Structures are given as C-alpha cells and as structure tokens.
Structure 1
Amino acid sequence: MQSDASTSHQHVQPPKSPIVQDNLQKITAFMAKHQIAGLPRNFEIVYEAMVRRNAEIARDLVALGAQPSQIALDHLGLKHRLVSHCGLADEHVQSEATAALKRLAEQVSLGLLRKQTFTRALETIVKSIREDETRGLSEILEELDFLDSAASDLIREETEIEFKLKAGLEQIEAAERTAEAARSMVLTDRLTELPNRIAFMNRLESLYEQATVPFGTAMLLVDIDNFREINRQFGDEAGNRLLKRLAAVFRKTIKKYDFVARIEGDDFAFLFSDVGATEAQAIAERLRTAVENNLIFATEQGRSQGSLGLSIGFAMTADAATPSELIAHAESALATARATPRHPIAGYGSEPQRGMGRNVA
C-alpha cells in the first residue's frame, strides 16, 4: 500500500515557472483589456504576438484596434496559418461545400420536375390527336407550336442548370483544395516551411503501425549550440533568419525519401530509412559538415562569428518497441552529445550495429 506522501505526489501538478506565470498573466491582462473572448484560438494569437514575439502578427493585432471583432481575429489567425485556426478554416470549407451540394440538388430536382411537366403535356397532346381524328390542321399546329415553345424553354432551363452545375462543382473543388491547404498548414512549420512536430509524430507512428518492430530506420535529433545566446545577443529576427537558412541546408542535404521536421525552437528531427548505426553516424557527420561549410553566422556589422555548431543524437528503430521509446533514446543520445562538445555526435547504446549498405555520400 502506498503512503499518503506517495499518493499525494501523483496528483500534484508541478508548479509553473515564474516566466510561464508572468506570460500567462500578460496574455490574460491583454485579452481582458481589449475585450477579446477567452477562446483557445484567440489565446494563440496573443501568445504568438507577445510571447513568441512574432512581429507580423503583433502589427496586425495592433492594427485591429481596441475590442476587435471575432471575425477580424479569425481572419488574422487564418492569414498567419495558426494551427488552431486551420481547423476553423476546414469547418468553414466543409460548410461551403455542403451548401453548394444542396443548391445543386435543388437545381437537379427543379430540372426533373420541368422535364416531367413537359413529358405529360406531350403525352396529353399526342393522345388527343390520336383520339380525335376530326381535329383540324390549325389546332394541331397550335399544339405543336406550344410543344416547340415548351421544348425551347426546357432547353434554355437545362442549359442554365448545366451552367449552375459546373459552377457548383468548381466551387466544391475549390473548397476541397482550400481544405487540403488548411490541413497542410496544420502539418507545416510557419517559419521554416518544413514539416512540424505533428507531421513528424504522424510519420513516426506510421512506422510502428506494422505487426513487427520496424528495422533499419534511424532517428536523428539536431540541436543548435548556444541558440538562446544567439537570440539574446542579436535578437529574435536574427535567430529566425538563421533557422530558415539552416532548414534550407537540411532540405538540400537529405535525399528524396528522407524526412526532416522542425519540432520545436531550434530542434530538428530526421528519419532515415534503410540504414544501420554506422550509416546513421556517417549521416550525422555529413549534416554537421554541410552546416559548417554552408552556414556562417555573422553579426549585422558583418563580423563573422564562425560556423554554426550542432549537437546530434541518434537512435535506431530496432532498439525501440514504440515511438515514445525511440524518441527517449534519441533524446538521451542528444543529451550525451550536448554534454561532450568535443564529440557532438552520439548514438544511443554503445554497441555498433551492422550497416545495411546504404550509400550516405
């Protein structure tokens, strides 16, 4: 039986840091002052502007003035592709597509009704001609003129319905493209345009959906050395430019079927298939060399600060039964790499695995 202290420990949440508490208070005070509804998507806008210091969002938020409408806030969130607003866009697109389908169904029903009316009129006239042989030619011509006029009206209405059907289908296709773009936003990092943490977790979990533990895939975690110090000395905008350039180097360095994502701050994650530990080590060294050769960090005055340093930890899927275990192994290796600056690349475990013959050059 557990002691009271142990039981109590399980239910007590760790206290928030003073910085987190201060940020929450600032955001809450700002939203209250400007009478912004306490919705999660509104919180994200203010958080991006005040805490993450996104200058563009901050300017747009200020431009809305005091007591901004919810519609204006939602437009701002969609403009900057905030995650919480992408779902809102998806719902809006689905609503538009449903409305378009209803309008199309009404047009089709109306067209069928008009066809049925014309058919009944035609049947009535044909029947009357057959049953009354004494009818004069002039009466028959009048009825034929009526049918001709009705047929012309029907053709015109059918043409209008065809036009409306095409327009409705184009609207639905546009809505589908918008919905797909909204879903893509949820999986894309706004700053670097690389896949984000959600996309990375989806990719990683798909590896473990098989009946057996996946073999021959390496996960690499990459961290920029002293990135907080860079931000502190040169500002967030300089740090953001650095992250964009680093993402570009990574994108050019990996191969077509490899995967890279920015998962948080200055942390990037990679997945390389068909490799062993030896190849993973070589890939990590190649990534670090590519950054050293292609990314020189300089101040605004142009003074070079030398090449950018990276710490890299890697782990193999063969050693992990679940995605969370693989992440824990990679994080452990990264911690080792950070703690040993002279050896900034570390793999989980000490026993090297046999390579699988992949060319990593």
Structure 2
Amino acid sequence: MNSKASTASKDTQQAVPPIAARIAQLMANLGIAALPRNYELLFEALNGNAGVAREIAALGKTPDQLSLDAIALRHALPSHNALAAGKAADDAVRVLCEIAKTAEESQRQRAVAVQELEEIAARMKRDPVLGISDFASDATRLLSLMQDILGTDRMASARIGDLQSHLDSLRSGLVTSREALTHDAVTGLANKAALLSHLNGIFDDKAAAGTCALLVFRVEQLREFAESHAAGADEKTVKRLATLFRQSVKKNDLVARTGPDLFCLLLSDVTREIATGIARRMADKVADTPFPFLDRELPAGFLTLTAGLSMTDSAKTPVMLCEQADQALAYASETGMALRIYSAEVAERAGRTYRGGAAA
C-alpha cells in the first residue's frame, strides 16, 4: 500500500498560499465583506465547487451581499441554513397573516348577510303583509351582498391555492436546507455532521451495532495539486474518488467526505483484520486508477492514500472515536506509513504532541 506519490508534478512545485490567505485576497479584490458565511462561500468556490465559482465570477467586481447570499442559498451551503430558515419563517408568517385576513373578511361579510336575513325575518313576523312588501326592496340588496360573498370565496379559494403552492415551495427549500447540513456539496456524500449523527446511533446501542470501524483516509497530493489550479479544477477528481469509496463498502456502511482531501468509511460489524484489509484494497484501487483533471488525466499512482483506523470497542463516545482515527492518521503521515491503527502507542504520541504544543 503506497502512502506517497512518487514524483510531484511541476504544478505542485510552486509555492501556493494557504486557503485562508487566498480567501482573504479574493475578498479584498472583490470588495466582499469579511462575514463568516462569505468565508464558507469562497471556501466552496476555491475547493472544488465549480458551480459556486462560476456564479461568483459572473457577479463581477464588488458583488452585493444579497447576490452572494442568493448563490449560497441556491447551493444550500450549511452556514446559510440560518438565513434560509429565517426567510422561510418570515414567508410562512406572512402567508398565515394573509390567510387570516381573507378568512376575517369572509366572516365579516357572512355576519352582515345573516344580520340582514334576521332583520327581514323579524319584520315579516311582526307584519307579514308589510314584511313581504319590504322584502322586494331588500332582495336586491341581499342578492348583491351574497354575490360579494361568493366573489370573496372564489378569490379566497384561488389565493389559498397560491399560498399552498408557496408553502410547498418553502417546505421543499427547508428539506434542501436540512440536506445541506448533512451532505457534502460536491460529492453528495455524508459530511462530518452526518457521520457524528450516525455514530451517535451506534453508541446509543453498541450491543446491537456490534464492533464498528472508522477509517479516515487522506488523499495525498490532492489538496496541493488542486490549490495550484483554478477553483473547481479538482471537482471531477473528487467525484471519481467518491465513486470508488462508495463501491468499496456494504449497503449499511457509511461513506463521508469530511475535508477537501479527507474521506471516511464507517464499517459496521467488522474486525480489525477485515477493516485493515478494506483499507489496503481501497488504497490499491486508488493507486491503480487514473483520475480526470481538467482536460487531461492524472496518471495511475499520482494520488495515493494514507489511513488511520479506530474501533468502537476502544472509544467511549463518537467524538473520541473520530479523534482516535485522526491521531492514527497523523501518526501514519508523520512516519511515512500507509496505515496506522489506533493503539496505546498512538495515544502516547498524541499526548506528547499535545503537551509539547501546550508548553510552547
């Protein structure tokens, strides 16, 4: 199982500023406000979401905030879910107010009609002859009132139909918003939030779930190569990787993308040996596969995997399981290993690193 590509492309030899610096520079060039949701939007544009990158470019210089938010809402970015939910809530309140106003007007007209009928009935009861004579003049007014009521009802029915369509649209938007909270925008895979949610279910009933394995893979060279090219250039590569990861697991296993170059496999009811075998087969498959990149292909062997493995029988919580897998991955990366399983040695090394960092 290879852990590093043999020779880096000339494209990756160039010094590439970190993503945070590139975002800050783009904000300054375009006059975009330094809001947290704008950072996420530009991060998407610079890390594989070609659709977002194209739409931002189409806005030209100094794009207004409403246009930027509209792009983020169309692509259902997680940090904009609060905006989407707030807009949906405002629209829903307005819709309900309009329905209430229509119902109130219809009720008022009906009350007037009932009062007219009660007055006519009272006059006829007091003096039938005079009442019938008066009814002739009242009939025209009463007919006009009833026509107004029927007209209001027809308009109300049409308006309620329009409002129902609008509410259906709002509901669809909220579903999309919820989807964005749990899925990666480029690949459609589960994201970190979805992974933790799935793990919560496993840890709630460990006995039923059996022993599960969490594999965290770093795709070596992917981030560096992507950052040396135009925004979104690696989208096809990332999607091909996502397909390979999906094909490597059973139906009940979970595949997630938790970072620009990080993929996770959550394997249910497996042993360490089985999980290790899957990791090695996955690495071999990636190493043997050419990947599309812009108008050419990255040759087989250009991208390789480094992996960290943790098991649910050694962790007390979902967060602990993820931390153990991350520690194993860090150990593997620093020592040049292709795969590392979480162990006491990994834990001790992580503790030393933490203490050293704290002391510094």
TM surpasses 0.5 = yes
Between the aligned partners of 1:323 and 1:19, the Cα distance in structure 2 is: 34
Q: Deviations over 1:56-76 (max 9, x none)?
A: 545543443333322222223
Match of 2:311 in 1: 316
Match of 2:215 among 200, 220, 240: 220
Match of 1:183 among 169, 178, 186: 178
Match of 1:296 in 2: 290
The CA deviation at 1:190 is 2.0
> Is 1:298–1:305's contact at 8 Å kept on the other side of the alignment?
no
The worse-fitting range, judged by mean Cα deviation, of 177-186 and 214-223 is 214-223
Q: Deviations over 1:217-274 (max 9, x none)?
A: 2211122244356547887755432211010122233333221110012211122223
Between the aligned partners of 1:238 and 1:60, the Cα distance in structure 2 is: 15
Match of 1:348 in 2: 342
Match of 1:72 in 2: 67
Q: Deviations over 1:35-74 (max 9, x none)?
A: 433322233344555x648665455434433333222222
Tell me the amino acid that sits aligned with residue 38 of structure 1: A
Partner of 2:270: helix, strand, or coil? coil
Between the aligned partners of 2:130 and 2:227, the Cα distance in structure 1 is: 101
Between the aligned partners of 2:42 and 2:286, the Cα distance in structure 1 is: 34
Match of 1:87 among 71, 82, 86: 82
TM-score, structure 1 normalization: 0.75
The worse-fitting range, judged by mean Cα deviation, of 77-86 and 284-293 is 284-293
Match of 2:347 in 1: none
* Structure 1 gaps, min length 5: 1-17, 351-361
What is the percent sequence identity of the aligned residues?
Answer: 29
Alignment of 1:61 onto 2:56? yes
Instruction: Summarize the Cα distance change of 1:210–1:127 in structure 2 as closer, same or farther, 3 Å threshold.
Output: farther
The CA deviation at 1:170 is 2.1
Match of 1:41 in 2: 37
Between the aligned partners of 1:191 and 1:287, the Cα distance in structure 2 is: 21
Alignment of 1:273 onto 2:273? no
The CA deviation at 1:286 is 4.8
The CA deviation at 1:178 is 0.6
Q: Deviations over 1:300-334 (max 9, x none)?
A: 66684348533333222121012222112222333
Aligned Cα RMSD in Å?
3.6
Match of 2:350 in 1: none
> Is 2:183–2:190's contact at 8 Å kept on the other side of the alignment?
yes
**Count of residue pairs brought into register by the alignment:** 328
Between the aligned partners of 1:246 and 1:90, the Cα distance in structure 2 is: 32
Partner of 1:61: helix, strand, or coil? helix
The CA deviation at 1:345 is 4.1
Larger RCO (alpha carbons 8 Å, 6+ apart): 2
Between the aligned partners of 1:175 and 1:278, the Cα distance in structure 2 is: 48
Instruction: Summarize the Cα distance change of 1:210–1:121 in structure 2 as closer, same or farther, 3 Å threshold.
Output: farther
> Is 1:83–1:186's contact at 8 Å kept on the other side of the alignment?
yes
Match of 1:132 in 2: 127
Instruction: Summarize the Cα distance change of 1:204–1:298 in structure 2 as closer, same or farther, 3 Å threshold.
Output: same
Match of 1:173 in 2: 168
The worse-fitting range, judged by mean Cα deviation, of 132-141 and 261-270 is 132-141
Tell me the amino acid that sits aligned with residue 151 of structure 2: R
The worse-fitting range, judged by mean Cα deviation, of 166-175 and 297-306 is 297-306
Instruction: Summarize the Cα distance change of 1:132–1:38 in structure 2 as closer, same or farther, 3 Å threshold.
Output: same
TM-score, structure 2 normalization: 0.76
* Structure 2 gaps, min length 5: 1-15, 345-360
Instruction: Summarize the Cα distance change of 1:80–1:180 in structure 2 as closer, same or farther, 3 Å threshold.
Output: closer
Within a 5 Å distance, the mapping from 1:92-103 to structure 2 comes to 92-103=87-98
